[in-house]
Amino acid sequence: MNLSDLQNALDQLSTAMLADPLLSLCNAIAWLDPLITNPHLFSEDLNPYDGNFDHWTNIGVAWETARACFLDVYAETTLNIRSQQQTEIQIAEQVCIGINRHLIRADIYELDQIHYGLPFAGGGVEITSQEFFADPMNTPLMEVYGMFDVEVGHADLYSYPDHYDQAATSARVIAHSLRLTDQPAYDDLAGLLDWMFAQTGNASADYTDEEFYDMNAEPLRWEPYDIAYSNAMHAEAFDMIEQARRGLQFLMHQPALKQTLSRNIQKIATKVRKVKRYDLHDTHAHQLAKSLRWTHDPEPTDANRTPDDLESVSFWGADAA
Amino acid sequence: MLSTIDNLVSTLEAVPPLELAAVTLLHTLRPQTGEWFPSRLNPEEKAQVIQATVELVDYTRRCAEMGRLLAQLPPIPLCDVSLVEFSL
């Protein structure tokens, strides 16, 4: 038997198998879904903290992750592995690109990241970073922090500026007040204050990468539900930061509004002076917010109330401060 | 009971065979050079194969889920059916 006979035999066997519907299906599965019998072939018994992994291990884990979460990436990777026309580095790059198609605003940069859960992209203000405030997009923020008597952009990485917590409490009340005006531009300004003091409620908008890392937070897993959650969180954070930047632009072009904001900051700062940051209840914050007035609004939103009403507002925990 | 079984059989026989793109592509793209699976694909074929893989995995997952559900069906006692084979 020569080589030609062997090829003929193989061809006949293949033809015979494809003539049978069940064997055709089995062949198609073997061709396109080789992980069907063991979807945890690579990640089984693998401890991500064991150390550096080679490209093939990364590809293997990403390949089975893709089967669970990104079927098109799984199919692409299967074909790329089968074609034997790419190096492992090229295949790893292709898998990265494929996975990033499914992630919103939180890319993976190297396939090695596949071992450590979903990527987190912190968009929070880097309050102590000189580089952050040196960026022309962020430089005007220093002026707004200054209104709150908060110095930012110092290189001491592990401490927050003096007065930060008190300023955050004031900012929260002022954001409430701005939202009460129902003016879109003031709503943007409220978004700016939320972002500046990490009070948006969205982790990606509130924390920087470093802060998130230092928290030792458990990363989200490579599972469909977690991926959907992470995408929604990062998309929302992006919108929040965009809104904050619109608010910053608006404020920088409104000298009268800057004066009003400064005046309102001082007014609120005296009222929340003894309140710990997280002790200010929403109800009280709203009550205080109603006492403020803005340039478009000649009368306070609670004009019927007397100042005495506001003076009598008590704050839980105020004495503890 | 018998008519119900007949109905079930005839219903199942009337179900058209499922056309899976993966099986079709395996037939059409199979190389004549001794390779078992197609390996050299142009971009258009590659896009088709990717779509077919998505369909195939979805199909096998549904089958596995159906098998899991069937395995959990409680037994149904057939009190009024006589099974003459048992007496043999």
Contacts of B34 in chain A (CB under 8 A): 6-7, 10-11
Determine whether the interchain pair B57/A11 forms a contact, defined as Cβ–Cβ distance below 8 Å: no
Spatial CA neighbour of A290 closest among A319, A252, A264: A264
Residue B79 to chain A, least CA–CA distance (Å): 36
Residues of chain B with C-beta less than 8 angstroms from the C-beta of A6: 34
Q: A303-307, B31-35, B43-47 — which is least confidently predicted?
A: A303-307
d(CA B42, CA B22): 16
Nearest residue in B to A6, CA atom: B34
* pLDDT above 90 (res B83): no
Q: Which residue in chain A is spatially nearest to B50 when comparing CA positions?
A: A75
- For the entire predicted model, the pTM comes to 0.81
| A51 in reach of chain B (CB within 8 A) | no
* A74 near B CB under 8 A: yes
Give the residue with greater pLDDT, A296 vs B59.
B59
Collect all residues of chain B within an 8 Å Cβ-Cβ radius of residue A11: 32, 34
State the Cα–Cα distance between residues B17 and B53, nearest whole angstrom.
Answer: 19
Q: Are the C-beta atoms of residues A204 and A215 closer than 8 Å to each other?
A: no
Which amino acid makes up residue A59?
A: I
A90 has a chain B CB within 8 A of its CB: no
Rounded Cα distance, A236 and A194, in Å? 14
Distance CA A152, CA A145 (A): 7
Record: contact A18-B27, CB cut-off 8 A: yes
Interval A142-163: pLDDT, tens: 999 999 999 888 766 567 777 8
A282 vs A79, A142, A175, A218, CA distance in Å? 56, 27, 12, 29
Q: Do B40 and A72 lie within an 8 Å CB cutoff?
A: no
- The token duo for B54 is 């998505």
Please tell me whether residue B18 adopts helix, strand or coil conformation: coil
Please state, in angstroms and rounded to a whole number, the distance separating the CA atoms of residues A21 and A166.
73
3-state secondary structure of A310: helix
Interval B46-65: pLDDT, tens? 999 999 999 999 999 999 99
- Helices A21-32/B43-71 angle, 10° precision: 110
A11 vs B49: CB contact, 8 Å cut-off?
no
pLDDT at A303: 46
Tell me, yes or no, if A176 comes closer than 8 A to chain B by beta carbon. no
> Measured between alpha carbons, how far is A55 from A92 in angstroms, rounded to an integer?
7
Evaluate if residue B74 carries a pLDDT over 70: yes
How far, rounded to the nearest angstrom, does the alpha carbon of residue A157 sit from its chain's CA centroid? 21
CA atoms within 13 Å, Cβ hemisphere of A93: 5
Residue of A nearest to B34 (CA): A7
pLDDT surpasses 90 at A170: yes
Residues in CB range of A107: below 8 A, 6 or more apart? A100, A119, A121
- For A150, residues 6+ apart whose C-beta sits below 8 A from its C-beta are A161, A162, A163, A164, A167
- How close does chain B come to A224, measured CA to CA in Å? 15
Mean per-residue pLDDT for A210-234?
Answer: 93
Please indicate if any CB of chain B lies within 8 Å of the CB of A8.
no
Token representation of residue B50: 């990717």
Q: Are A204 and A122 in contact (CB under 8 A)?
A: yes
Asked if B50 lies within 8 A of A76 by C-beta distance, the reply is yes
Kindly report the backbone phi and psi dihedral angles of residue A70, in degrees, each rounded to the nearest multiple of 5, phi listed first: -135, 85
CB distance A29–B56 less than 8 Å?
Answer: yes
**Residue A171 in this model has a pLDDT that exceeds 50:** yes
Q: Categorize the per-residue pLDDT at A287 as very low, low, confident or very high, splitting at 50, 70 and 90.
A: confident
- Name which of A11-15, A185-189, A276-280, B62-66 the model is least confident about: A276-280
Whole-angstrom Cα distance, residue A43 to residue A51? 14
CA-based nearest distance A31→chain B, Å: 6
Q: Which 107-136 residues of chain A touch chain B by CB within 8 A? A: none
Look at A71 and B54 and tell me if their CB atoms are within 8 Å: yes
Q: Are A288 and A301 in contact (CB under 8 A)?
A: no
Instruction: Inspect the interface and report whether the beta carbons of A72 and B54 lie closer than 8 Å.
Output: yes
Q: Are B25 and B38 in contact (CB under 8 A)?
A: yes
DSSP state letter for B33: S
DSSP letter, residue A49:
G
pLDDT in tens, A57-104: 999 999 999 999 999 999 999 999 988 888 999 999 999 999 999 999
Amino acid at position A84, single letter: Q
Between chain A and chain B, the number of residue pairs with CB atoms below 8 A apart is 74
pLDDT, one tens digit per residue, over A4-29 is 888 788 888 888 888 899 999 999 99
Is A80 in contact with A91 (CB distance < 8 Å)? yes
* A4 CB-contact burial (10 Å; exposed 0-12 / middle 13-18 / buried 19+): exposed
